[in-house]
Structure 1
């Protein structure tokens, strides 16, 4: 886990990483969620 400054609440937080998934026909990219405020940040795919 790497500490980041949340874009929303500006606190240093360790994000929880949610892996990419698909719900129905809607693919959802992997994203991280702030441990304090729940702000979700998509993880850019670097391929």
Structure 2
């Protein structure tokens, strides 16, 4: 009997390096605009400290 669904792939997000690789470009883009926005600066500082 064949399944109607494809077999699930391994959970790529279980590997921290995959998450880092996905998030890093977005985080770097935020940091680039950090000096331009006081709201962004406050939010990034709060996120980094917690």
Please state which band the TM-score falls in when normalised by the shorter chain.
Answer: under 0.3
Q: TM-score when scaled to structure 2? A: 0.17
Q: TM-score when scaled to structure 1? A: 0.18
Whichever of the two has the greater Rg, that structure is 2
Which has more helix, going by share of residues? Answer: 2
Which has more strand, going by share of residues? Answer: 1
